[in-house]
Amino acid sequence: MVKKKIFNDPIYGLMHFEFEVLYRIIDHPYFQRLRRISQVAMSHYVYPGAQHSRYQHALGALHLMSQALMLLQNKGIKISEEEKKAACIAILLHDIGHGPFSHALEKLILPLSHEEISLLLIGKMEQDLNEDFSMAKEIYQNRYPKKFLNQLVSSQLDMDRMDYLTRDSFFSGVAEGIIGYDRIIKLLTIADGNLAVEEKGMYSIENFLSARKLMYWQVYLHKAAIGAEQVLVSAVKRCKHLIEEGFDFFQDEDFRDIVLAGGQENNVSLLDKYVKLDDTNILYMLKKGMYSKDKTLSLLSESIIDRKLFSSQLRSEPMPEEEQENIKSQIKQKLNLDYDLMSYFFITKEEKFVEYDTKKDEILFLGKGGRIQMYSEINHEYKDKQAITKYAVCHLKV
């Protein structure tokens, strides 16, 4: 029997969980690894307090899931104990596949999304713990017949978003991201099998959507944070290239083995090596990389370790080719490096933000008379909402 611990969270206070298997999952090495995976990658280069982990986020999302399920049951919604447990497992493990620096290096180490890796790791943990996670995997993959359970894990109003907005706002100090998560959860209900909100929760949802938009532009898509992440990507790409070329420099063994194997995602041994990687492996490799004989790796590593960030901007339109070539020429002259190395020091990237996705699952409202309305029907501003595209340009300062 595993002792049911109490977790003291800076946001929610004391947290404890109903099912013994959740504590066994938390104690598993795959989950403990999340302590060493940053939640918002390089955002702490802009907001010094934003150094929280995926571990904290996963526990927070589990806490909110537990609250939501209990409140729905109290409203007479039929949820079995097995379904409650499965939904809790699904939300607890929803980010288990994240690699070093979360989204910043996604698909760069293994050519799979973190969701795909999560599913593989859930299968391995299922075997390790001698448990049946079939229902949890169905909920995680949005395939369980009770849609609202899937939506509590992944939708436009899921417990994942509810926690990361609250937590990222708290640790970054960006007060505009504060949401009324407690009120929203208390007003959750079910309409035609879908997750919905009681009609009186309208303003709380408007605040939720507004806070999410502000967090994207002020934190997640802050130009300096994007710039830092792109330098990190360049540095890791350079490490991969040097490993492939057989260049002698300090290499993390597990990272090297994955690179030399060509990232064959079906190779079980690669997955075993992948789960040994976290932020510290990459940072230590870059700390050593500062003294590499390869000038490119040395410059990129120094930029990350000493926070000598690239110039970065977000533009409404792509930078004209002529302007790009002019900056590249100045960088080449400044560094005295071959032109084919400029891709490490001049990076362009599209950033898209979908404020409200009417093509996905809409947020539903349930009126007193049983009338169900989609949010886009109530607030026409969101009816044909399109993705906002910005063009990031990051380069060595010239």
Can you spell out the DSSP letters for 340-396? Answer: GGGGGTEEEEEEEE-S--TTSPPPEEE-TTS-EEEHHHH-GGGTT---EEEEEEEE-
CA 375 to chain centre: 25
Q: What does the pLDDT read at residue 264?
A: 60
Count of H-run helices and E-run strands, the chain: 17, 9
Among 259, 248, 347, 244, CA closest to 291: 248
Residue 137 CA to residue 307 CA, distance in Å, equals 40
Residue 242 CA to residue 245 CA, distance in Å, equals 5
Two tokens at 88?
């809790």
pLDDT tens column, 119-158? 999 999 999 999 999 999 999 999 999 999 999 999 999 9
pTM of the predicted model as reported, rounded to 2 decimal places: 0.95
3-state helix, strand, coil in the chain (%, to 5): 55, 10, 35
Do 223-310 and 7-221 fall under one CATH topology? Answer: no
Tens digits of pLDDT across the chain (398 residues): 667 889 999 999 999 999 999 999 999 999 999 999 999 999 999 999 999 999 999 999 999 999 999 999 999 999 999 999 999 999 999 999 999 999 999 999 998 999 999 999 999 999 999 999 999 999 999 999 999 999 999 999 999 999 999 999 999 999 999 999 999 999 999 999 999 999 999 999 999 999 999 999 999 999 999 999 999 999 999 999 999 999 999 999 999 999 999 856 556 678 999 999 999 999 999 999 999 999 999 999 999 999 999 999 999 999 999 999 999 999 999 999 998 999 999 999 999 999 998 887 899 999 988 999 999 999 888 777 778 999 999 999 98
The CATH label, of 3.40.1190.20, 3.40.1440.60, 1.20.1250.30, 3.30.950.10, for the domain at 223-310 is 1.20.1250.30
Contact at 8 Å (CB) between 239 and 289? yes
3-state SS class at 162: helix
The CATH label, of 1.10.3210.10, 3.10.20.30, 3.30.2000.20, 1.10.3720.10, for the domain at 7-221 is 1.10.3210.10
Domain ranges of the chain: 7-221, 223-310
